[in-house]
Amino acid sequence: MIKTSASLLACDLSDISGELSRCRAAGVDWIHFDVMDGAFVDQITYGSPVLKCVRRSTDMFLDVHLMVNDPESQIKFFAEAGADLISFHIESKSDPRSTLELIRSSGVKSALAVKPGTPVEEVFPLLPLCDMVLVMTVEPGYGGQAFIPETLDKIRALRSFAGAELDIEVDGGINAKTAPLVREAGANVLVAGTGLFKAEDMAQANAALKASQKGAE
Ligand code: DX5
Ligand code: ZN
């Protein structure tokens, strides 16, 4: 089943609870919460105190994407704040194995994220500890970038190695045009910021992301 995850990076932050209601009404499945530390990536966004407010405003599934150098030190804060899933980068400084174990022992689903230039094979030995793998389809750090087509082969390689059960999420430049490509390659969780929040009709945009290849333009 295809799921969508709306990246709050593109929402109107002055009205988070209104934007969360809009997502629910549009049929979006998950909320994607991009955490940037100004070190692993250029910008600084928001952290666990903001996630706590989001948690109070919605019962939707909260998908936290840590783009930080030291994710391991942050797990307890995001788990306490109400994250349902936490992904962090294999390129970060934390030990991936102990960080994945810590996420799971905190009662949260675990995921590893890979940047476009990182071979996806690097996550293979860690898959038993992962509920999901996030394949970045742009360089992390900014919303509104163009999808990188070379990432499709990585999605295919991961799906073929991991089998049908693993959730494979894609993030960056996902819209009605690129969604059929990533779905065909084997992704089943589609993050969209611009593609949902800036759409004229969010429900229609969400349906287009989820549509079968035949139905989607
Ligand atoms: C980029 C973030 C993405 C971003 C996606 O570093 O991880 O989640 O918000 O934005 P769009 O959908 O606009 O490419
Ligand atoms: Zn993200």
Atom of ligand 1 nearest to the CA of 144: 13
DSSP state of 154: H
Is 84 tagged catalytic? no
Atom 10 of ligand 1 has which residue's CA nearest to it?
Answer: 143
User: What is d(CA 9, CA 2) in angstroms, rounded to the nearest whole number?
Assistant: 21
**Cα 33 to middle of ligand 2, angstroms:** 7
Which ligand gives the minimal distance to the CA of 7? Answer: 1
Q: Is 192 in the pocket of ligand 1 (CB under 6 A)?
A: yes
* Predicted local distance difference test score (pLDDT) of residue 203: 97
* Predicted local distance difference test score (pLDDT) of residue 162: 98
**Nearest-CA neighbor of 86 among 69, 74, 99, 103?**
103
* Predicted local distance difference test score (pLDDT) of residue 213: 40
**Could you write out the DSSP letters of every residue in 169-188?**
EEESS-STTTHHHHHHHT--
- Choose, from 34, 37, 63, 131, the residue flagged as catalytic: 34
Q: Is 175 in the pocket of ligand 1 (CB under 6 A)?
A: no
Give the mean pLDDT per block of 10 residues along the chain (217 residues).
Answer: 97 97 98 98 98 98 98 98 99 98 98 98 98 98 98 98 98 98 98 98 97 49
List phi, psi (to 5°) of 120. -70, -20
**Could you write out the DSSP letters of every residue in 24-40?**
HHHT--EEEEEEEBSSS
Q: Is 68 in the pocket of ligand 1 (CB under 6 A)?
A: no
* Predicted local distance difference test score (pLDDT) of residue 39: 98
Is 171 tagged catalytic? yes
Atom 4 of ligand 1 has which residue's CA nearest to it?
Answer: 143
**Cα 213 to middle of ligand 1, angstroms:** 23
Q: Is 141 in the pocket of ligand 1 (CB under 6 A)?
A: yes
Testing ligand 1's pocket by substitution, the residue of 65, 115, 142 carrying the most ligand atoms inside 8 A of its CB is 142
At 59, list the tokens. 């019962």
